[in-house]
Amino acid sequence: MIVAVCIDDNMGMLFFGKRQSRDKKVVEDFIRSSAGGKAYIRNFSKKLFDGKDVIIDDNCLNIAGEKDWCFIENQDINSYASRISKIVIYKWNRDYPYDFTFKMPEGFTLEKSSEFTGNSHEKITREEYVK
């Protein structure tokens, strides 16, 4: 499976249980990228994907297939590392307050990096890590 996450410059993901930021262009990129499989999100991300063709399932990291994508905002993915073939990181390129951070599983290396203009951020960096 492929997992996508959003982080700030300090690997922060959440602050007091709330996402640090949101961006429509990240959602669009995730949907476009997941076209070869199913697009899963957790209930936490439901608002971001309103009206989008996604499967909402808090158990997505257990049920996603090889070509399926999971958008994760509020969960540590390390215990699922053996099932993950690629990690896509969207970086906000800013410092936000945080109390929950992303921890990269071992064995992944940067394959590709690109930038795009977001809806709420002038620059979003998209990095792809593979085993």
- Bridge partner residues of 128 (DSSP): 88, 112
What per-residue confidence (pLDDT) applies to 112? Answer: 98
What per-residue confidence (pLDDT) applies to 16? Answer: 93
What per-residue confidence (pLDDT) applies to 48? Answer: 95
Q: What is the pLDDT along the chain (131 residues), one digit of tens a residue?
A: 999 999 999 999 999 999 988 999 999 999 999 999 999 999 999 999 999 999 999 999 999 999 999 999 999 999 999 999 999 999 999 999 999 999 999 999 999 999 999 998 999 999 999 99
Q: Enter the CATH code of domain 2-130.
A: 3.40.430.10
> Residue 28: in which H helix or E strand, if any?
helix 24-33
Burial of 6 (0-12, 13-18, 19+ CB in 10 A): buried
Tell whether pTM > 0.75: yes
What per-residue confidence (pLDDT) applies to 61? Answer: 98
Domain ranges of the chain: 2-130
> Residue 60: in which H helix or E strand, if any?
helix 60-63
CA dist., res. 128 & res. 113, Å (int): 6
